[in-house]
Amino acid sequence: MTEVVWGCAAVCASGEHNMGKGKKLELDLQQNATDSLAHAVEHFGEGKRATDLKYAVLHVFHAVELFLKARLRRAHPTLVFEKPEEAGKRSARTVDFRILVRRLRAVGVHLSDSDCNDLNAIRDRRNDIEHHEVELDRNKVKEWIGRAMRFVDRFVAEEMGIRLKDTLPPDTYQTLAEAVYTYEERVVAARAELPEWHPKHNPDQRYAYCPECGEETVPYPDDEPGDDDTVRCRLCNARFHGQSCVRCGGVMLLSEPITRENDRLVCEHCWDSLHDD
Protein backbone atom coordinates (compact mmCIF):
# COMPACT_ATOMS: atom_id res chain seq x y z
CA MET A 1 0.00 0.00 0.00
CA THR A 2 1.27 3.46 -0.87
CA GLU A 3 0.63 6.47 1.33
CA VAL A 4 0.54 9.67 -0.73
CA VAL A 5 0.93 13.18 0.67
CA TRP A 6 0.59 16.19 -1.65
CA GLY A 7 2.75 19.28 -1.39
CA CYS A 8 4.52 18.07 1.73
CA ALA A 9 8.24 17.85 2.46
CA ALA A 10 9.13 15.01 4.82
CA VAL A 11 12.27 13.52 6.24
CA CYS A 12 12.60 9.97 4.94
CA ALA A 13 14.83 7.30 6.42
CA SER A 14 17.84 8.80 4.66
CA GLY A 15 17.14 12.16 6.30
CA GLU A 16 17.09 13.96 2.95
CA HIS A 17 14.77 16.76 1.81
CA ASN A 18 14.36 16.50 -1.96
CA MET A 19 10.72 17.49 -2.37
CA GLY A 20 9.90 20.59 -4.34
CA LYS A 21 6.77 22.59 -3.64
CA GLY A 22 3.65 21.01 -5.13
CA LYS A 23 5.32 17.70 -5.96
CA LYS A 24 4.08 14.31 -4.92
CA LEU A 25 5.63 12.29 -2.10
CA GLU A 26 5.15 8.52 -2.13
CA LEU A 27 6.00 6.40 0.88
CA ASP A 28 5.13 2.76 1.40
CA LEU A 29 3.92 1.70 4.83
CA GLN A 30 7.41 0.82 6.06
CA GLN A 31 8.94 4.09 4.86
CA ASN A 32 6.02 6.04 6.30
CA ALA A 33 6.50 4.32 9.67
CA THR A 34 10.24 5.03 9.71
CA ASP A 35 9.59 8.65 8.80
CA SER A 36 7.10 9.06 11.65
CA LEU A 37 9.56 7.53 14.10
CA ALA A 38 12.22 10.01 12.99
CA HIS A 39 9.77 12.90 13.38
CA ALA A 40 8.85 11.74 16.89
CA VAL A 41 12.52 12.06 17.86
CA GLU A 42 12.78 15.46 16.19
CA HIS A 43 9.87 16.84 18.19
CA PHE A 44 11.17 15.28 21.39
CA GLY A 45 14.73 16.48 20.85
CA GLU A 46 14.03 20.02 19.73
CA GLY A 47 11.37 20.99 22.26
CA LYS A 48 11.18 24.51 20.83
CA ARG A 49 7.41 24.66 21.18
CA ALA A 50 5.21 23.56 24.04
CA THR A 51 3.34 21.28 21.65
CA ASP A 52 6.44 19.34 20.59
CA LEU A 53 5.87 16.74 23.32
CA LYS A 54 2.34 16.20 22.05
CA TYR A 55 3.54 15.58 18.51
CA ALA A 56 6.29 13.27 19.73
CA VAL A 57 3.67 10.94 21.25
CA LEU A 58 1.37 11.16 18.21
CA HIS A 59 4.18 10.40 15.78
CA VAL A 60 5.59 7.51 17.77
CA PHE A 61 2.19 5.78 17.92
CA HIS A 62 1.67 6.46 14.22
CA ALA A 63 4.99 4.75 13.54
CA VAL A 64 4.05 1.71 15.63
CA GLU A 65 0.67 1.36 13.92
CA LEU A 66 2.18 1.64 10.44
CA PHE A 67 4.87 -0.97 11.17
CA LEU A 68 2.12 -3.35 12.33
CA LYS A 69 0.12 -2.68 9.17
CA ALA A 70 3.21 -3.18 7.02
CA ARG A 71 3.69 -6.61 8.59
CA LEU A 72 0.02 -7.49 8.10
CA ARG A 73 0.23 -6.40 4.48
CA ARG A 74 3.08 -8.87 3.98
CA ALA A 75 0.72 -11.66 4.99
CA HIS A 76 -1.85 -10.46 2.45
CA PRO A 77 -2.33 -6.94 0.98
CA THR A 78 -6.10 -6.89 1.56
CA LEU A 79 -5.89 -7.67 5.28
CA VAL A 80 -5.00 -4.08 6.16
CA PHE A 81 -8.49 -3.03 5.11
CA GLU A 82 -11.47 -3.15 7.44
CA LYS A 83 -13.38 -4.93 4.65
CA PRO A 84 -10.82 -6.87 2.56
CA GLU A 85 -13.30 -7.13 -0.31
CA GLU A 86 -13.17 -3.34 -0.68
CA ALA A 87 -9.39 -3.24 -1.15
CA GLY A 88 -8.46 -0.84 -3.93
CA LYS A 89 -11.46 1.42 -3.51
CA ARG A 90 -10.82 5.04 -2.56
CA SER A 91 -13.38 4.79 0.23
CA ALA A 92 -11.82 1.64 1.75
CA ARG A 93 -10.92 2.11 5.42
CA THR A 94 -7.93 0.43 7.04
CA VAL A 95 -8.39 -1.64 10.19
CA ASP A 96 -8.54 -0.06 13.62
CA PHE A 97 -5.94 -0.95 16.21
CA ARG A 98 -7.80 -3.78 17.98
CA ILE A 99 -8.64 -5.57 14.73
CA LEU A 100 -5.10 -5.00 13.51
CA VAL A 101 -3.64 -6.86 16.50
CA ARG A 102 -6.18 -9.69 16.15
CA ARG A 103 -5.43 -10.18 12.46
CA LEU A 104 -1.70 -10.21 13.09
CA ARG A 105 -2.13 -12.98 15.64
CA ALA A 106 -4.43 -14.84 13.23
CA VAL A 107 -1.69 -14.93 10.56
CA GLY A 108 0.84 -16.27 13.07
CA VAL A 109 2.59 -13.11 14.24
CA HIS A 110 3.65 -13.55 17.86
CA LEU A 111 2.55 -10.71 20.13
CA SER A 112 3.14 -11.45 23.80
CA ASP A 113 1.02 -10.09 26.64
CA SER A 114 3.89 -7.72 27.39
CA ASP A 115 3.88 -6.51 23.77
CA CYS A 116 0.14 -5.90 23.88
CA ASN A 117 0.43 -4.00 27.16
CA ASP A 118 3.08 -1.75 25.63
CA LEU A 119 0.93 -1.19 22.54
CA ASN A 120 -2.24 -0.51 24.53
CA ALA A 121 -0.46 1.94 26.84
CA ILE A 122 0.91 3.93 23.90
CA ARG A 123 -2.48 3.85 22.16
CA ASP A 124 -4.19 5.12 25.32
CA ARG A 125 -1.78 8.05 25.51
CA ARG A 126 -2.48 8.86 21.86
CA ASN A 127 -6.22 8.73 22.53
CA ASP A 128 -5.84 11.00 25.55
CA ILE A 129 -4.11 13.60 23.39
CA GLU A 130 -6.64 13.37 20.57
CA HIS A 131 -9.81 13.39 22.68
CA HIS A 132 -9.04 15.01 26.04
CA GLU A 133 -7.14 17.83 27.66
CA VAL A 134 -3.38 17.48 27.28
CA GLU A 135 -0.97 17.41 30.21
CA LEU A 136 2.51 16.10 29.41
CA ASP A 137 5.99 16.29 30.85
CA ARG A 138 9.27 15.41 29.21
CA ASN A 139 10.10 12.44 31.45
CA LYS A 140 6.74 10.78 30.79
CA VAL A 141 7.04 11.27 27.05
CA LYS A 142 10.54 9.81 27.16
CA GLU A 143 9.10 6.74 28.88
CA TRP A 144 6.43 6.28 26.22
CA ILE A 145 8.99 6.68 23.44
CA GLY A 146 11.17 4.12 25.21
CA ARG A 147 8.31 1.65 25.43
CA ALA A 148 7.42 2.11 21.78
CA MET A 149 11.03 1.67 20.72
CA ARG A 150 11.47 -1.42 22.91
CA PHE A 151 8.62 -3.06 21.01
CA VAL A 152 9.35 -1.73 17.52
CA ASP A 153 13.08 -2.51 17.50
CA ARG A 154 12.42 -6.17 18.29
CA PHE A 155 9.28 -6.48 16.18
CA VAL A 156 10.68 -5.19 12.91
CA ALA A 157 13.87 -7.24 13.34
CA GLU A 158 12.06 -10.52 14.04
CA GLU A 159 9.02 -10.08 11.82
CA MET A 160 10.30 -7.94 8.95
CA GLY A 161 14.07 -8.46 8.88
CA ILE A 162 14.72 -4.74 9.42
CA ARG A 163 17.49 -3.34 11.60
CA LEU A 164 16.44 0.13 12.70
CA LYS A 165 20.02 0.80 13.69
CA ASP A 166 20.94 0.57 10.01
CA THR A 167 17.81 2.35 8.78
CA LEU A 168 17.55 5.43 10.97
CA PRO A 169 20.11 8.26 11.16
CA PRO A 170 22.67 7.44 13.91
CA ASP A 171 21.69 10.33 16.19
CA THR A 172 17.99 9.44 15.89
CA TYR A 173 18.63 5.80 16.78
CA GLN A 174 20.86 6.84 19.69
CA THR A 175 18.08 9.00 21.16
CA LEU A 176 15.63 6.11 20.89
CA ALA A 177 18.09 3.62 22.38
CA GLU A 178 18.74 5.92 25.35
CA ALA A 179 14.99 6.21 25.97
CA VAL A 180 14.70 2.42 26.02
CA TYR A 181 17.66 2.09 28.40
CA THR A 182 16.27 4.69 30.80
CA TYR A 183 12.85 3.06 30.80
CA GLU A 184 14.21 -0.46 31.32
CA GLU A 185 16.24 0.77 34.29
CA ARG A 186 13.08 2.13 35.94
CA VAL A 187 11.19 -1.10 35.28
CA VAL A 188 13.98 -3.17 36.85
CA ALA A 189 14.00 -0.92 39.91
CA ALA A 190 10.20 -1.13 40.22
CA ARG A 191 10.20 -4.92 40.01
CA ALA A 192 12.83 -5.04 42.74
CA GLU A 193 10.28 -3.31 45.02
CA LEU A 194 7.65 -6.00 44.52
CA PRO A 195 6.98 -8.14 47.59
CA GLU A 196 8.37 -11.64 47.40
CA TRP A 197 5.82 -14.05 46.01
CA HIS A 198 5.55 -17.60 47.33
CA PRO A 199 2.90 -19.32 45.16
CA LYS A 200 2.75 -22.40 47.38
CA HIS A 201 2.16 -20.38 50.55
CA ASN A 202 0.01 -17.66 48.99
CA PRO A 203 -1.62 -19.01 45.79
CA ASP A 204 -3.96 -16.02 45.54
CA GLN A 205 -1.13 -13.51 45.11
CA ARG A 206 -0.32 -12.26 41.61
CA TYR A 207 1.79 -9.65 39.88
CA ALA A 208 -0.68 -7.73 37.74
CA TYR A 209 -0.25 -5.41 34.77
CA CYS A 210 -0.83 -1.78 35.68
CA PRO A 211 -3.68 -0.20 33.65
CA GLU A 212 -1.87 3.13 33.82
CA CYS A 213 1.69 2.29 32.73
CA GLY A 214 1.12 -1.24 31.42
CA GLU A 215 3.95 -2.94 33.28
CA GLU A 216 3.62 -6.05 35.43
CA THR A 217 4.45 -4.12 38.57
CA VAL A 218 1.29 -4.27 40.70
CA PRO A 219 1.19 -6.85 43.52
CA TYR A 220 -2.25 -8.27 44.26
CA PRO A 221 -3.03 -8.49 47.06
CA ASP A 222 -0.58 -5.84 48.24
CA ASP A 223 1.14 -6.29 51.58
CA GLU A 224 2.22 -2.66 51.72
CA PRO A 225 0.95 -0.98 54.92
CA GLY A 226 -2.02 1.30 54.32
CA ASP A 227 -5.48 2.20 55.60
CA ASP A 228 -7.35 1.30 52.41
CA ASP A 229 -7.79 -1.77 50.25
CA THR A 230 -5.96 -0.42 47.23
CA VAL A 231 -2.87 -1.84 45.55
CA ARG A 232 -0.01 0.31 44.27
CA CYS A 233 1.98 0.09 41.05
CA ARG A 234 5.65 0.10 41.95
CA LEU A 235 6.57 1.84 38.68
CA CYS A 236 4.12 4.74 38.28
CA ASN A 237 2.67 4.75 41.84
CA ALA A 238 -0.93 4.65 40.59
CA ARG A 239 -3.38 3.01 43.00
CA PHE A 240 -6.22 0.66 42.12
CA HIS A 241 -8.99 -1.42 43.60
CA GLY A 242 -8.56 -5.05 42.62
CA GLN A 243 -10.72 -8.09 42.07
CA SER A 244 -10.24 -11.54 40.55
CA CYS A 245 -11.87 -12.68 37.31
CA VAL A 246 -14.47 -15.31 38.15
CA ARG A 247 -13.60 -17.21 34.96
CA CYS A 248 -9.80 -17.38 34.82
CA GLY A 249 -8.75 -16.01 38.23
CA GLY A 250 -6.75 -13.19 36.66
CA VAL A 251 -6.51 -9.80 38.33
CA MET A 252 -8.65 -6.84 37.29
CA LEU A 253 -7.74 -3.38 38.53
CA LEU A 254 -10.18 -0.47 38.72
CA SER A 255 -9.61 3.19 39.57
CA GLU A 256 -12.79 3.34 41.70
CA PRO A 257 -14.06 1.14 44.54
CA ILE A 258 -15.84 -1.93 43.23
CA THR A 259 -19.64 -1.78 43.56
CA ARG A 260 -22.54 -3.79 42.20
CA GLU A 261 -22.81 -1.29 39.36
CA ASN A 262 -19.20 -1.48 38.14
CA ASP A 263 -18.41 -5.10 39.10
CA ARG A 264 -16.87 -6.51 35.93
CA LEU A 265 -16.92 -10.19 37.03
CA VAL A 266 -14.80 -11.33 34.07
CA CYS A 267 -11.60 -9.80 32.66
CA GLU A 268 -11.29 -8.26 29.20
CA HIS A 269 -9.48 -11.33 27.84
CA CYS A 270 -12.28 -13.68 28.98
CA TRP A 271 -14.92 -11.25 27.75
CA ASP A 272 -13.35 -11.24 24.27
CA SER A 273 -13.16 -15.04 24.32
CA LEU A 274 -16.82 -15.34 25.30
CA HIS A 275 -17.78 -12.80 22.64
CA ASP A 276 -15.81 -14.68 19.95
CA ASP A 277 -17.44 -17.96 20.97
Q: Is the dihedral of CA 53, 54, 59, 62 positive or negative?
A: positive
pTM of the shown model:
0.71
High-pLDDT (> 70) share of the chain, %: 85
pLDDT digits (tens, 9 = 90+) for 153-199: 999 999 999 999 888 988 899 889 989 988 888 889 888 988 887 66
Burial class (CB in 10 A: 0-12, 13-18, 19+), 194: middle
Amino acid at 85: E
- Name which of 70, 65, 40 is nearest 55 in CA terms: 40
pLDDT of residue 129: 87
Instruction: Please state the domain extents for the chain.
Output: 36-191, 206-276
pLDDT tens digits for range 190-244: 889 888 876 665 666 788 888 888 888 999 888 776 667 789 999 888 899 888 8
